[in-house]
């Protein structure tokens, strides 16, 4: 690993420049990103397909319901993408086993952070319950509670937007260890100090840009499906498969964007580019002295 040689130039960028860079990163690592996105999202997508088939509302409401499901799962479903981006920044084409191991090795902490502290598990269970109950009033109540929980979760994410990167990429432990006195709480507090505004801007920017991007991807998938001979009348194909694919692809795109904003935040707040050069020089010096 050469810390002074990365496929992304380590320097401060403006917001629009970061969004443009995201497309370049995706085009360079497209198939690897798709593969790791599928690895994390496919289990959720299968569950969502069967859950949404139990939902009695029409296509439009079913589509909104799938959107809520995916939003409640996106933090966990895109973990492999985040891990891959962190590895690929300095390695180029990392071994998929290393990427998977870095996530599974932190599974307990990630489940606790996203599932419990960020209320993802309660929101997801409420949405599943909304699809399974037979009374429309009870279903609506479950969905209402789930939306309220997801709003609270979104506000928490605004204050701690880079929690996943701290756990997966920096490998910060939840508790003090013999080799490290820096815990997740300390690291998150130092990095996210005064970051609520940036996190809120990231959320609003995601909401604004995601809507046209979502419908563009869904339209492209629908057109491709019809060209392959699937008639538009197959409702489960569109609401259960193509719509979900579009939702997860948009989620994958914003995972790349968030990673780039994480890098930019470290550059602005911590002088990360200087730190990397110093660490690279130290590694080269150690290699030279060991010869």
54 in any annotated domain: yes
Q: Rounded to 5 degrees, what are φ and ψ at 180? A: -150, 130
Q: Which residues contact 262 (CB under 8 A, 6 or more apart)?
A: 161, 162, 165
Q: Which residues contact 217 (CB under 8 A, 6 or more apart)?
A: 245, 246, 249, 250
9 in any annotated domain: no
- Domain count within the chain: 1
3-state secondary structure the chain: CCCCCCCCCCCCCCHHHHHHHHHHHHHHCHHHHHHHHHHHHHHHHHHHHHHHHCCCCCHHHHHHHHHHHHHHHHHHHCHHHHHHHHHHHHHCCCCHHHHHHHHHCCHHHHHHHHHHHCCHHHHHHHHHHHHHCCCHHHHHHHHHHHHHHHHHHHHHHHHCCCHHHHHHCCCCCCCCECCECCCHHHHHHHHCCCCHHHHHHHHHHHHHHHHHHHHHHHHHHHHHHHHCCCCCCCHHHHHHHHHHHHHHHHHHHHHHHHHHHHHHHHHHHHCHHHHHHHHHHHHHHHHHHCC
Tokens 């008639």 — which residue?
Answer: 231
The per-residue pLDDT for 3 is: 47
Query: Taking Cα atoms as reference points, which of 207, 206, 198, 200 lies closest to residue 264?
Result: 198
Query: Taking Cα atoms as reference points, which of 185, 273, 189 lies closest to residue 5?
Result: 273
Burial of 31 (0-12, 13-18, 19+ CB in 10 A): exposed
8 in any annotated domain: no
4 in any annotated domain: no
Residue 18 near residue 261, CB atoms below 8 Å: yes
Tokens 């599932």 — which residue?
Answer: 115
Residue 256 near residue 18, CB atoms below 8 Å: no
172 in any annotated domain: yes
The per-residue pLDDT for 277 is: 53
pTM for this structure? 0.85
The per-residue pLDDT for 5 is: 53
> pLDDT 10s per residue in the chain (291 long)?
454 455 676 677 787 888 888 898 999 899 999 999 999 999 999 988 888 777 665 545 677 888 888 988 998 999 999 999 988 887 677 888 989 998 998 888 888 888 888 888 899 889 888 888 877 788 888 889 999 999 888 888 888 888 888 888 888 887 766 666 678 888 888 877 766 777 777 777 877 888 899 999 998 988 888 787 776 666 667 777 888 999 999 999 999 999 988 888 877 776 655 555 555 545 555 555 655
82 in any annotated domain: yes
The per-residue pLDDT for 83 is: 93
The per-residue pLDDT for 34 is: 95
**Domain span at 101:** 15-289
10 in any annotated domain: no
The per-residue pLDDT for 285 is: 54
User: Both tokens of residue 82?
Assistant: 């985040």
The per-residue pLDDT for 55 is: 67
The DSSP bridge partners found for residue 180 are: 177
User: Both tokens of residue 10?
Assistant: 């380590």
């Amino acid at each position: 690993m050469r810390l002074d040689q990365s496929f992304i130039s380590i320097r401060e960028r403006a917001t629009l420049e970061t969004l443009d860079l995201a497309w370049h990163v995706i085009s360079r690592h497209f198939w690897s990103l798709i593969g790791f996105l599928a690895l994390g999202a496919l289990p959720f997508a299968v569950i969502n397909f069967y859950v949404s088939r139990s939902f009695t509302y029409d296509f439009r409401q079913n589509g909104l319901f799938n959107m809520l499901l995916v939003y409640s799962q996106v933090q966990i479903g895109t973990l492999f993408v985040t891990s891959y981006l962190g590895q690929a920044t300095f390695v180029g084409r990392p071994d998929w086993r290393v990427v998977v191991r870095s996530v599974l090795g932190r599974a307990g902490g990630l489940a606790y952070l996203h599932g419990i502290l960020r209320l993802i598990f309660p929101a997801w269970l409420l949405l599943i319950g909304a699809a399974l109950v037979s009374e429309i009033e009870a279903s609506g109540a479950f969905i209402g509670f789930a939306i309220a929980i997801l709003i609270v979760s979104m506000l928490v994410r605004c204050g701690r937007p880079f929690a996943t990167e701290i756990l997966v990429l920096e490998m910060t432990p939840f508790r003090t260890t013999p080799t490290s006195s820096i815990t997740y709480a300390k690291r998150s507090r130092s990095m996210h100090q005064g970051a609520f505004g940036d996190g809120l801007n990231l959320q609003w920017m995601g909401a604004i840009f995601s809507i046209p991007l979502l419908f563009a991807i869904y339209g492209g998938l629908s057109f491709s499906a019809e060209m392959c001979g699937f008639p538009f009348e197959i409702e489960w194909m569109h609401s259960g498969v193509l719509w979900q694919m579009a939702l997860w692809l948009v989620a994958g795109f914003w995972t790349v964007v968030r990673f780039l904003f994480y890098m930019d935040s470290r550059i602005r707040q911590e002088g990360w580019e200087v730190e990397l050069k110093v660490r690279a020089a130290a590694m080269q010096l150690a290699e030279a002295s060991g010869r």
